Amino acid sequence: MEQAAQTGQETPRYQLIIDGQPTEAVSGRRYGTVDPYQQREWASAADGDAADVDLAVAAARRALSGPWGQLTGFGRAALMRRLAELIARDADRLAAIETRDTGKLLREMRGQLASLPSWYSYFAGLADKLQGETIPTDRPNFLVYTRHEPAGVVGAIVPWNSPLLLLTWKLAPALAAGCTVVAKPSDYSPASAVELAGLFDEAGFPPGVFNVVTGFGPAVGKALAGHPGVDKVAFTGSTGVGAEVAKAAAANVTGALLELGGKSAHLVFGDADLDAASNGVVAGVFAATGQTCMAGSRLLVHRSVHDALVDRIVRRAEAIRIGDPQDPATEMGPLATEPQFRKVVSFFGSAVAEGATVATGGEAVAELGGFFVRPTVLTGVKPGMTVACEEVFGPVLAVIPFDTEDEALALANDSRYGLAGAVWTKDIHRGHRVAHKLQAGTVWINAYRVVGPDVPFGGMGLSGIGRENGIDTVREYTQTKAVWVELTGGTRDPFTLG
């Protein structure tokens, strides 16, 4: 934590990173960040506000017109590859910090951080390939070509559930495109973004390319989303907050890339491998304590295998090891925050009140205290129930039987969300057929919760606007310029369109 946090103290003190320098908030305020497992403050962060956002955006604009803006794609790529090497070197340390901040399993965060360098390497490979094209026209006296130029300053607002991964989904393509970035990490997980900013300096990035403004409450996010000096806003989080971010950006006619909530469905057909399907369902809703936008929280299962599949899932759910996220044997840690804990627990009561049956779970883990809840399977769920419609963001599975393929598709698509889904079947024709008809941005066939830097990810409906990851994502952070070159030196009638 050489630059990321002040050292020599028992509790790390994280600062803002503006123009390459650690600094306290203009107000001088700080706030504590709580370890969800230990239930105590483990670090403190600078409590920034709109004044700090102004400074960060100004620094990003200077970098854009300074040394960073003068680099070629080859130069940007070299710096990004060096950054990837440093992240790989520090992956275990960064993973431990994210576990302290979020309560997610250390084994999962180590896996995420080990894969993170591949995002920077992949997009580094695109940084020197943002080529335009020559356009043949019906005017022989003109040469016409296009350029893809950086969108400018990007405001990146990220949630607490996978802080560095979801920041990287924005940061890596933005850097490849030549943009500069001001990041606002979640109130609840500010540490790792500040730590990452320290690696930018070590990698040799010019000051101001990547700035981090932490802060508790909505002030920083609102100021960043609505800042007139921001040219693109990239947000991951709840649909409600995403709509507010989009409104703030639209006031400045600023584009917004939104990755929002989900209520994703598994469709398990009668011919499916039930062992594989049950494993995929567990991975989709109980991994990460269900705190993931792509959680497969609806299980639509053919009536002929309903009981057999539910039995497998219940037995696995009841065997899940719950406890210390730093213990390699733990399979499910606590929920990340007290508000999220209260929200998840409230779904247990409402589901039963509306007629669902608790097959397992449905309660807090009293003996552990804190923010622990049991992995929960609810049967007898009807499509209109709250737990079948609303995003829980916790380890809660709603099971609904179906009889026909058309019914399964109707149930799956009967949602305001459209982020992800899965089809479980041994029939290759059905697998593709159903995948094509699912209204979701990502569909897995006989798998779940797999992502990569080269595969687009994003949603339909209330699940968002635009796509992260993949080749085309770099274009989200560019603007296209058309250039017309007159070749003859001749003149024309100035009062007619050319």
Q: Which residues are catalytic?
A: 259, 293
The identity of residue 2, as a single letter, is E
**Neighbour-count burial of 407, counting CB atoms closer than 10 A to its CB (0-12 exposed, 13-18 middle, 19+ buried):** middle
- Cα distances (Å, whole numbers) of residue 269 to 412, 415, 419, 434: 13, 20, 21, 11
Other residues' Cβ atoms within 10 Å of the Cβ of residue 114: 14
Sign of CA dihedral 86, 92, 94, 95: positive
The identity of residue 416, as a single letter, is R
What single-letter DSSP state applies at residue 292?
S
Beta-bridge mates of residue 358: 378
What residues have CB less than 8 Å from 340, skipping those under 6 apart?
291, 371, 393, 394
Q: Are 20 and 207 in contact (CB under 8 A)?
A: yes
**120-123: long-range contacts, CB 8 A cutoff, minimum separation 24:** 120/80, 120/81, 120/83, 120/84, 120/87, 120/168, 120/172, 120/175, 121/80, 121/81, 121/84, 122/172, 122/453, 122/454, 123/80, 123/172, 123/173, 123/175, 123/176, 123/453, 123/474
The tokens of 482 are what? 């058309």
**CA 296 to chain CA mean position, Å:** 16
The tokens of 29 are what? 């305020």
Beta-bridge mates of residue 484: 144
Helix (H, G, I), strand (E, B) or coil at 469: coil
The identity of residue 143, as a single letter, is L
Other residues' Cβ atoms within 10 Å of the Cβ of residue 93: 13
Q: Are 229 and 58 in contact (CB under 8 A)?
A: yes
Q: Measure the CA–CA gap between 88 and 20, rounded to whole angstroms.
A: 21
The tokens of 66 are what? 């300074």
